[in-house]
Amino acid sequence: MNYYSLNKQASDSSFRNAVIKGLAPDKGLYFPESITPLPKSFFENIDNLSYSEIAFEAIKQFVSPEIPENILKIIVEETLSFDFPIVKLNDNISTLELFHGPTMAFKDVGARFMARCLGYFNQDNDKEVTVLVATSGDTGGAVANGFLGVKGVNVVILYPSGKVSDIQEKQLTTLGQNIRALEINGTFDDCQAMVKTAFLDEALTSQMQLTSANSINVARWLPQLFYFMFAYKQLHKTYKDIVFTVPSGNFGNICAGMMAQQLGLPIRHFVASNNLNNVVTRYLISQLYEPKPSIQTISNAMDVGAPSNFIRIQEIYKNEFETLKENLSSYSFTDEETKEAMLEMYDDYNYVADPHGAVGYLGCKAYLKENPNAHCVFLETAHPTKFLDVVEEVIKEEQPLPEQIQAVMGKEKESTLISTYEDLKGFLLS
C-alpha cells in the first residue's frame, strides 16, 4: 500500500516511510491510495471471528507487503491483549469501553500497534528514531507505555503544563528509560505546533530521525478502526441501525470509524461530540472551517482548537459537504452539561463515566431526539479514575483505583519545563 500527502505536493510514500516520517515533506498528512472493501461474507460471518482475526483482516491491506502476514498476526495479537466490552444503559444507548488496556485509555491500541510496527522496521537499523508527540492528556501515557524499552526508539512527549489530570501526568512523566517528558508553558495547540515545526526544521531533521505518535501517524490512527468492528460484532444481531457517537478532539478516532465504514462495515452515521472546542460543530452549520485557540475544559483530551484529522474525514467523503453531512452530525456541550450527564448516568444506570464519555453520552441523547429508532453507542475513551477530582466531585462517592493507576501514583514526576520552539530544538539536539 502506498500513501499520498493530502497537501498533494509530495511524492507517494510506502507504509514504512509514512510510519517513520510521520508527516509528509509538504506538511501534509498521509492517506492510503486506495481502500478495498472487505467481502460481504466477512461481516456476515463476523460472529465466528476472534478480535485478532477481525483486526488482521481489516488492517492487512494498509501495511502489506512491508509487514509479512505472519509478523502482522503477532503484532495484532500483542496489541489486543485486553477486552473491549459493550455496556448497555437502555434500549437506545450503549457504551463501548475502551479503557481496559495498560494506561486505561483508548489510545493504548494505536500506540501499541505503532510501537510494534516501528520496532519491526527498526530491528536491523543502527540509527535511532526519536518519537516526538504532543498530548492533551491520554496520548502521552499510551505512547510512553507502548514504546517503553523499544530498541532504537527514544520518545519525547510534550504536554501543556497544568492542563492534564494528575494521573495522566504521572503516566507520562514517571517511566524513565527511553521516555522523556517536556512540560510546555502553553496549550495543547502550542505543543502540537512545536511538533509540526520540528518535523519541518531541516537543521534538526538532518541530524536526527523524527517521527510522530500522534494520530497524524498512519500507524497510530488506522488501528482505531478495530473498535467499531468489535462493537458491531457484539451488537448487530440485536440492533440494525447502529450509530456511533465519538467524543472528538483531534478527530482521529471518529475518522478511523469512517475508514471502517469504507471497508464495508454497515454503519449509517457518526456523531462527533464536542466540548466547547467545537470547530467541526460550527462547520457543519456554516460550512466555514475556522480553527480557534483551544479552550480548557474538564474533558481535556478534547481541548483541540485545530483538529488535525478533519482533513482526512473530508478526503474520505471526497470533499463533498453534503455527503459529509449525510454521514456526520456534531453537537457541542458545556462543562456544566457534562457534569449533569455524569450524574444522570450514575443515578439512572449506576454507571460511572469519565467527562469524555459523558460528552459522548450527551451526543447520543441529542441525536436520538430526531432519530428515536437508532441504537447509539458512545465511546467511553478513558477510565473515570483518570479524572478522579471531577468524577468524585460530581457523583459524591469515592472511587477505588485500578491496579494500572495505583502502579504510577507513588512514583516521582520527572519533566523539563520549556516555553518556546527554540527550547524544544535545544533539548532535542542536546
Task: Note the pTM of the prediction, 2 decimals.
Answer: 0.90
Q: Mind listing the domains of the chain with CATH numbers?
A: 80-106+221-399 (3.40.50.1100)
Sheet of 269-274: strand order equals 86-88, 93-97, 375-380, 242-247, 269-274, 328-332
109-123 residues labelled b (16+ CB within 10 A) or e (exposed): bbbbbbbbbbbbbbe
Helices (H), 200-273: 202-205, 218-221, 225-235, 252-262
Active-site residue numbers?
107
238, three cell numbers: 440485536
User: Which residue, chain included where needed, has cell 454507571?
Assistant: 351
C-alpha to C-alpha distance for 224 and 103, rounded to whole angstroms:
16
User: Which residue, chain included where needed, has cell 431526539?
Assistant: 369
88, three cell numbers: 448497555
Would you write out the chain's pLDDT as a tens digit for each of its 430 residues?
999 999 999 999 999 999 988 889 898 999 999 999 999 999 999 999 999 999 999 999 999 999 999 999 999 999 999 999 999 999 999 999 999 998 899 999 999 999 999 889 888 777 888 999 888 777 778 888 888 888 888 999 999 998 888 888 888 898 888 999 999 999 888 998 899 899 888 899 899 988 888 888 999 999 999 999 999 999 999 999 999 999 998 899 999 999 999 999 999 899 999 999 999 999 999 999 999 988 889 998 898 888 989 999 999 999 999 999 999 999 999 999 999 999 999 999 999 999 999 999 999 999 999 999 999 999 999 999 989 889 999 999 999 988 888 888 878 889 999 999 999 999 999 8
